[in-house]
Amino acid sequence: MQNQNTNQSGQQMSPNMQPNPTSHSNNHGGHEIFDAHEVLAGFISLLDQYQMYEQHIQDPELKDINQRQAAFVTQTYNTMVEAFSTGQDPTIPTQQYKMTQNNDVVYGVEPSQPKKPNTSVNELSDQGLSAYMLGNTKSLSTLLAMTALEMTNPVLRRVIADSVPNFIELSYEIFLYQNKHGYYQVPQLMQQDMNLMLSSYTKASNISH
């Protein structure tokens, strides 16, 4: 059993001595530590999987997206690790991801072959690989947003919060690639139904006191 007057590093502490609350590296709550570990592990998982995907991607455009996104996530990971381990502003702040796709979306559904699981890695296709990439980025987008709400360290909270729009952008870029190639089809409502739905709300009046 550890002496009550000894801290975890083995240093002697007086009965009235408390850990320094202003220490940047210790400015983390317990729940925050677990969430940060989950986020950083998620980054590693994405980067490992992107390496595996790259070996099977055929389309140069998708391979370029894969490589650019992996490079950006690697830098974000390094920034986050530094903020997490020091509690201070990282050497390289959070960057802004800039995709290369345009914002044009193709609407409508075209007939396609029913999907089923692959029976071997030889059946991997750019359609499936881009879907896996989208699943990775969407999962981390959700995790980052949830984690940012649980942070106590102000520096780490800002790094994680600033990363949310970037991962939304990563996801949107992959969606646009998939949509352009017919992998992610977007159905629409009938025009009459859409107009009724679009006009079903109106602005609120200013509240006066």
pLDDT in tens, the chain (209 residues): 444 444 443 444 444 444 444 455 567 777 788 999 999 999 999 999 999 999 999 999 999 999 999 999 999 999 999 999 988 899 999 999 999 889 999 999 998 888 899 999 999 999 999 999 999 999 999 999 999 998 889 999 999 999 999 999 999 999 999 999 999 999 999 999 999 999 999 999 888 77
For 164, phi and psi rounded to 5 degrees?
-60, -50
CB-CB neighbours of 131 under 10 Å:
16
pLDDT value for 32: 82
pLDDT value for 25: 56
- 3-state secondary structure (DSSP) of residue 108: strand
Q: How far is it, in rounded angstroms, from Cα 42 to Cα 68? A: 18
Q: How far is it, in rounded angstroms, from Cα 25 to Cα 33? A: 11
The runs of H, that is alpha helices, within the chain are 30-54, 60-86, 126-148, 154-180, 191-198
Domain covering 28-102+124-183, topology: Ferritin (1.20.1260)
Q: How far is it, in rounded angstroms, from Cα 158 to Cα 129? A: 31
**What are residue 107's DSSP bridge partners?**
186
| Residue whose entry in the numeric block shows the structure tokens 């390289």 | 92
| Residue whose entry in the numeric block shows the structure tokens 């802004």 | 96
Terminus-to-terminus CA distance in the chain, angstroms? 62
Cα 101 to chain centroid distance, Å, stands at 19
Contact between 137 and 99 under an 8 Å Cβ cutoff? The reply is no
CB-CB neighbours of 177 under 10 Å:
22
